[in-house]
Chains A and B, each alone.
Chain A
Amino acid sequence: MVRFTDKIPAFFKRREWLLFGLIVLTFLFFNVQEPNNYTLVKLLNQTRVYMVDVGFMALGMLLVLILGDIDISVAAIAALSATVMGVTYKAGQGLPFGISIVLMLVTGVLCGLVNGLLVIRFKELFPMIITLATQTLYRGIAYIILKDQSAGSFPTWFSKDLGYGLVNIFGLDVPVMLLCLLAVFPLYHLWLHHTVSGHRYFATGTNLTASRFSGIHTDKIKLSAFMLNGLFAAIAGFFLTSRTGSVKYTIGTGFEMQAIAVAVLGGASTSGGKGSVVGLLLALVLLTALKNGLMLLYNDAFILNLSVGLLLILVVLIPNLLGMLNKYRTVRRQRLELAKT
């Protein structure tokens, strides 16, 4: 007996379609509710606020989640590296801005390196515990450097052209930041899904022991994932600062959870071996559409978080329940066939 669900090609069963459907539904729902304020053009402008910094963090987080690890210190890394940038630039009194940026990126990578070294040196420990401790450490260092002050007065190209700049593409005003983020996605996708070095991350996440025995330097892979994650966190801090115009030690608090939520929504699993860049992008778009709409309707951060949490659980739970139902049906069918014979 061939059932209808077997006929649907596997391609259409992918999570990406679920996300895509949800994006369309969300957009239509809010567009009907707020026809004047919730349009594609306005949404595109709002991606500056809701999409770019979390997007960069999620890109790094994806890599760590694929390995089956987790990093909750990313927001603290973003805060620390942005702090380093702000303090070394000293509103034009200190180092040239280019060198400050390099220092910022180096800080991010170094923080990631510390995380990675701790994770591979102490395999008995859950990465969650390690990054939990380093999170307090990194944000604490940012606190010591900046105290309660904020560092600002960045060059205009940074705080104005990058933070608020728009580029006209086919009659649409696209934020410069969004273009920067979108430029990364194809490269990242090609690297992660279509090269050997990208596949090594999936292999390591799926079966660490088997990967090691087949000649993959799993420790190096883990270390590089954490370092890249640190780099992406620093970049996220960079864009966050350009959007807000100044650095405080508290910037980006709670972003790590959002980054994890985006990656998981996009198909990554915290137990490793799964994840997709396309799914991540769709999850980002979905969250942006949802957050923007909810902010328009309720203007309330708590309701926003509530729906993000609900979405996160539903998107993970529904495929699980469907899978269980499918399994139950198969077992019942087999039993019936057995009873006939």
Chain B
Amino acid sequence: MSFLKKLVRNREAGLTLVIILLVLLVGLRNPAFASLSNLQFILGDTSIMIILALGMLCVLLVGSIDISISAIMALSAMTAGILMKNNLGLVETTTLVEGVETALAIKTSTPLIVLILLAMGVGAACGLVNGLLIAYGKVLPIVATLGLQYIIYGLSHLVSSGQAIYRKDMSESFIQFTRHNLLGFNSKVWIMLGTFLLLYFFITYLRSGRRLYAVGSNREAAQMSGIDTKRTTLMAHVIMGALAGLAGMLYASHDNKVTQDMAMGYEMYVIAACVIGGVSVTGGFGKILGVLLGALAIGVINNGLTMLRLTGNSEFWKKAIQGAVILIAVVTNVYIKRGHEKRVLRERRL
């Protein structure tokens, strides 16, 4: 009994149960949904959102918000893409195809790691501007990042001079970047796991990570106890920016395409994932595991709605249902929280 009670009270466990339930329900209607390969596919598909949601967690923890992330993704992927396009070359190699040595021309360009670092650098720079405006310029986070969103999309248009980058402009290593599998999981999943562990360590064990919580839950108290609240806010935005740059590269490699308005509207899903995962939008409250599960829940819903094959073209229904499902999830979240608070009050009286 006490185990069950604990399970119900633990938010992450509850969310996991909901995800499993969703998988089972959709799986009843379409067994292909619950197959191992599809679940692996969903995990790979959601990895980008999880990486972004991890960054958003940092930003939300300090009581800020960033709605410019989709623009940052576009700009950083575009910058790296243009460098790649300009350095594109062919290298002749020979490979063994069915025992016969065959000549093969492979498209090469700037090393992949340089491209990724460049994208993350561009993203971090955008995050820095966001953070400077918010922490030092005292512009409200929504206003600052809304304005920056316009500006960054404009910059990505200027950088690309209106051209998109297609598969033919990409080096082989970049195209294959998100198509490798290791132990049955896509490389995106491994990158996501790496980011997750790194951020988990940072947020749970490092002093500067704990400061994110301190600043978000009580800014004045944090300041009085000697924490540089401005620098902490700045740091959160820089982390968000760098992760958005990384996510932009993954997105571009996954889609084999970089356009100037790439990923428009993605930020809203990321914020929704954080809220479903139990992060407070006013700051100071939220667990990193919850964010992971929240993003997974949205990924399962998105994929499930496609697999359900509702009457006719499911795309028509998908759009409406997504909103309703997010709403229901968020509202359920509130009821759970209220119940928790009531219980705490009752226990105090005893």
Contacts and interface: CB of A to CB of B under 8 A. Distances in A.
A141 B138 contact: no
B147 A312 contact: yes
B271 A317 contact: no
Contacts of B202: none
Given A128-B281, A312-B143, A316-B143, A147 B148 contact: no
A298 to B, nearest CB: 11
A317 B133 contact: yes
B151 A264 contact: no
A277 interface: no
Given A147-B316, A310-B151, A132 B139 contact: no
B154 A133 contact: no
Interface stretch (A94-102, A218-226, A300-308, A329-337): A300-308
A134 interface: yes
Given A264-B143, A269-B140, A308-B150, A143 B327 contact: no
Q: Which of B154, B155, B326 has the most CB of A within 10 A?
A: B154
B147 A310 contact: yes
Interface stretch (B40-48, B242-250, B329-337): B329-337
A274 B140 CA distance: 13
Given A143-B319, A144-B317, A302-B153, A316 B139 contact: yes
Contacts of B282: 126
Interface in A69-117: 70
B137 interface: yes
Interface residues on B, range: 35 or more
A118 B331 CA distance: 9
A317 B268 contact: no
B320 A140 contact: yes
B340 to A, nearest CB: 11
Given A306-B154, A313-B144, A320 B323 contact: no
Contacts of A139: 319, 323
B137 A70 contact: no
Q: Which of A128, A306, A317 has the most CB of B within 10 A?
A: A306
20 contacts: A128-B65, A132-B272, A133-B272, A133-B323, A136-B268, A136-B322, A136-B326, A137-B327, A138-B323, A140-B318, A140-B323, A270-B142, A306-B150, A306-B151, A310-B150, A312-B150, A313-B148, A317-B133, A317-B137, A324-B138
Given A130-B330, A309-B150, A313-B148, 18 more contacts: A125-B275, A128-B142, A129-B272, A133-B327, A140-B321, A140-B323, A143-B319, A144-B320, A260-B146, A303-B154, A306-B150, A306-B151, A309-B149, A312-B150, A313-B143, A313-B147, A316-B139, A320-B137
